[in-house]
Amino acid sequence: MPLIYTIILGLVFYLAKPIKWIQRKQARIAEGAMMLFIGVLIAKLAVSSGQSISLIFKMGPALILQELGHLATILVLPIALLLGFKKEAIGMTNSIGREPNVAVVVDKYGFNSAESRGVFAIFIIGTVIGTIFISFLVTFSLSFLPLHPYAFAMASGVGSASMNAAAIGPTLAAFPGLETQIEAFAGFSNLLSFCVGIYIVIFVALPLTEKIYDWLEPKIGREALVPETEDE
């Protein structure tokens, strides 16, 4: 898996102290440059989408409805409560916690709220392990789940360009001959996650997470763990 090797090499080069020429400043440049390279990636996916636009319209219902599938993150809320999280759990489990979601949560609860602490935690951890984890997850799922190839393609549009990229790789490799369709669906679904997904979070996911929290917290909420509050 060349994809995972490159991520790990990049990380190791940064963290390895003897390698002096990739330092914090270079990392900051790499981060800024990433924004630009995301553009190239998105452009390639968009060209595939444009090419297959009639197919995308034909698959419209599946593409739109799978955005609602992202609500499944709320299923993690009880586990977060059992692990001792309080209001942080609302920020943690309402969505995948990427840039647009962080913006929504901070906007609604304020920068210093417990909810924002939760979404920041998911954001940082997602940045560090998300790409590697999702490529393992996808590789594993492709061999064990008998789902439609298009379903795998659509699911890879989780609303994060790097996770999208990491999820497409193994999917393309698993279905040779369907490259254009998979790229089209993956790209379009990621685009939907960015522009439609955010409204699903604002109007459905967050209110629903709050309701379930109010209902579940008195039942299964734990004492807030001391080390946990220290951590955050």
Q: Which of residues 158-197 bind another protein (CB under 8 A)?
A: 158-159, 161-163, 165-169, 172, 175, 178-179, 181, 183, 187, 189, 191, 194-195
Q: Using an 8 Å Cβ cutoff, are 70 and 101 in contact?
A: no
End-to-end Cα spacing for the chain: 35
Q: Which two tokens stand for residue 158?
A: 């989780």
Minimum CB distance to another protein smaller for 41 or for 108: 41
CB nearer to another protein: give 104 or 168: 168
Q: Does 212 bind another protein (CB under 8 A)?
A: no
Taking a C-beta distance cutoff of 8 angstroms, is the pair 37, 172 a contact? Answer: no
Which is nearer to another protein, 109 or 135 (by Cβ)? 135
Q: Is 201 in the site for another protein (CB under 8 A)?
A: no
Assess 37 for contact with another protein (CB under 8 A). yes
Q: What is the total count of residues that contact another protein (CB under 8 A)?
A: 121
Residue 226 near another protein by CB under 8 A: no
Binding of residue 38 to another protein (CB under 8 A): yes
Counts of helices then strands in the chain (DSSP H, E): 14, 0
Binding part of the chain for another protein, among 105-113, 210-218, 221-229 by CB under 8 A, reads 221-229
* Angstrom distance (rounded) from CA 117 to CA 120: 5
DSSP state of 84: T
The stretches of 1-113 forming alpha helices (DSSP H) are 2-15, 24-51, 53-58, 60-69, 77-82, 88-93, 99-109
Q: How far is the CB of 142 from another protein (least distance, A)?
A: 10
Which part of the chain contacts another protein (CB under 8 A), choosing from 39-47, 107-115, 208-216?
39-47
- 221 lines the binding site for another protein (CB under 8 A): no
What's the min distance (Å) between Cβ of 36 and another protein? 6
Residue 216: exposure state from Cβ atoms within 10 A (0-12, 13-18, ≥19) = middle
**Euclidean distance between CA atoms 183 and 38, whole angstroms:** 15
Which residue lies nearer to another protein by CB, 3 or 104? 3
As measured in angstroms, the least distance from the Cβ of 143 to another protein is 14
CA distance 1 to 81: 36
Residues 101-140 that bind another protein (CB under 8 A): 121-122, 124-131, 133-134, 137-138
Cα 78 from Cα 74, distance rounded (Å): 8
For position 30 contacting another protein by CB under 8 A, the verdict is yes
- Interface positions, 75-104, toward another protein (CB under 8 A): 75-76, 79-80, 83-85, 89, 92-93, 95-97
How many residues can be counted in the chain? 232
